[in-house]
Chain A
Amino acid sequence: MLTQLTHDITTMSRRRWLAATAGLVLGLATFSNAKAADDTIKVGVLHSLSGTMAISETTLKDTVLFLIDEQNKKGGVLGKKLEAVVVDPASNWPLFAEKARELITKDKVSVVFGCWTSVSRKSVLPVFKELNSILFYPVQYEGEESERNVFYTGAAPNQQAIPAVDYLMKDEKVKRWVLAGTDYVYPRTTNKILEAYLKSKGVKQEDIMINYTPFGHSDWQTIVADIKKFGSAGKKTAVVSTINGDANVPFYKELGNQGIKATDIPVVAFSVGEEELAGIDTKPLLGHLAAWNYFQSIKDPGNEKFIKAWQAYTKNPKRVTNDPMEAHVIGFEMWVKAVEKVKSTDADKVIDALPGIEAKNLTGGTSKMLPNHHITKPVFIGEIKANGQFDVVWKTPGLVAGDAWSKELEGSKDLIGDWVGKKCGNYNTKTNKCGGQGS
């Protein structure tokens, strides 16, 4: 069989191979054509532009390009123009590490904005540690991590999941919980934290239903019927959804078709934002909820200005904004401020300067980089409106500080991340040792 295989390949016409190689070289050439001038500061953009994650990450690439453009209009940073270096890791996790290495060693970028899934972040971590560079990670994630080279501008579980559950418990008087998620690390860890939290609030095991589905699951009939059945036990029921982007559309369609209305069983989602709703007819979803740190519909002069500039930049008056975009906006401003503070793009100096830096967020508050490399954020609960936007029905009174290590889990409740005083990402406050038990 193997010999057959090699034989097949060698007999493949040589000309075709040549043509393919030529095409590849040509493509590479156009990519690396960006001139390497010394009077610019390079900013790496590590977001998938093809493959499954392109659906979410392409917008973030555009966001960073937009931010760089705006900054250059203001004169750049330290008197130099910013220059974006865009690479496409193609939703391929090992390729993320390769591309990160390429950005840092070949293109010599000063900072990288990138990654979406936790697995892609984990895959580039060793590269950033080894080559000592900076990554800004803009997506809500499961926590349980604090690295010296990474700055987490998305929400930790205590900045999204826990407040959402609190809201349902207090305002909607929910007594029974369905924790539904896609089967990978973010939903599994988040649900573990939520389960521990619910139990600490006196919810019994029999009132919690946990359900996992594969990526891109499209046949939701059984699960939606199960949720309906679970919800008919005479107690107010809600669904906490950590279902990943792509599977949401068929999930919500099935909910709508089976007639589960938000007034009966509300669904609060952590991965459904304005972008995801752009692909669905939202009328049957009226009143279902999402928890984020930013909504496009929030009335704030800074937000309105940003939306206008973004729509002008993308030349699309209907282009929506979303939460991870805001995270990049905050992260970018913090990086610029830190660089200007130490008058250098040197990674060590910038990493030390970043904690304590403040930046305006788009909802009227000021977010601050914390010693654990997470930031403070407000938490909003929004209800889906018929026009695909969200109506904020609740928000936290102030900004919530991101916890790198969840206080709900046995293994992590004594850990803190502190890169200022302790110079340690997993400092155990009980044993006073760095390198306590981590993930």
Chain B
Amino acid sequence: MSASTNRPLSISSFPKPIIHIDCDAFFTSVEQALNPELRGKPVVTGKERGIVACASYEAKALGVKRPMRLWEAQKLLPKLICLPSDYETYSLYSTRMFEIMRRFTPTVEEYSIDEAFAELSGLRRLHRAGYEEIAWKIKQAIQTELGLTVSVGLSASKTLAKIAGKEKKPDGFFVLPASELHLYLPKVPLERVCGFGPNTVALLEKQGIRNVWDYVSRPEAWAQRLLGKIGVELWHELRGDAVHPVMTEVKDDYASISKTKTFTPPSSEKDFVRAQLIRNLESAFIKIRRHKLRAKVMAVFLRSQDFRSLGVEAGLDRSTSSILDAVGLAGELFESIFRPGTLYRSTGVVLSKLEADRTMQYSLFDDVPKIESMKRIDKVMDDVNEHYGKHALHLGTSLWLGKHRQHIAGRGDLPERKMQLLKGETFRCRIGIPIWNVKV
């Protein structure tokens, strides 16, 4: 069946108008927006991790890819500018982008640090403009106020909006009405659908499905049989029938919480590596308490210099938000996987089987007074650290970290924002407004 004989799936353009907005090369674009001398130059961020976390379009054009080791990228391109990640400023930018979107519609989903969905139905009268024009205004507002470009896709479901947003990057703007899907989808390869991984694509190709139009042309029952519930949902989404809602609440139901840190130079010193691990454990528990959760399962892993990882998982005695319930077990797990003489480069902790830390059903064998006193210790630690800075009060084990920052030598570089403090700012606490580094 050729595309020209396909019949429209919908007579309405936007039964539910949804836009997807994605910042172009977000981290480096923020750096370039705030530092005019970086504009037009190949820039990457991720110096502190030793890998390319984000590459500017100039760097991409010259062959720098993500993920690449930093030294590889520098060998390829000696004039490459490598910056340490300034997550604080990136987060300020991210929040600003979402806030600008909320000026137009309250229905905004913060999908990731640099990506968002918004739903526009009912807004035409308020803004005296069509959906396409509203989407364009949002794009313009973000671009002028943040000084970076975004790519926007407007369509009839989240899945379609995301495909439309990827149509052209950077600085893209693509409108895909549901009434034109029959003309467009035959040109879209399966792997562009968020939700079709390599294995799904391979399976679909075995069924003779070559593009997205082939997929939505099959009956719903076929999608159900082949891919189950997820397949059916995508089948509807791709036909312009939105089933995934734009979720406005900030995500706080984590499936797991993990904390990983790489350190340089690598170390084989047992106490030091253990201290790194325990520090991650502390950070993970701080996060878990901030989100009012508790965990039942803990995994720890060590990664050696040759990038081999060794991990082990175990259940905690009870679902807990207290590090004192976990630190003993973490030590045992560490002992079971630590190999003397191996050089380690990073450690990590994953807490999972999370649940809301609200009601507590004590079991018959629980030492209730001890649990209560641990809760009080947690509270004291959180209060002290809120006042004096994260990890000001910490477990004795992490003393082995010594004065060693995360990285010695070049990779220990801090973002400029943390180096040049304004009067009254501290290393822990700075003004929540980005500094624009123009020399005037």
Q: Do A and B bind each other?
A: no
Interface positions of B (Cβ within 8 A of A): none
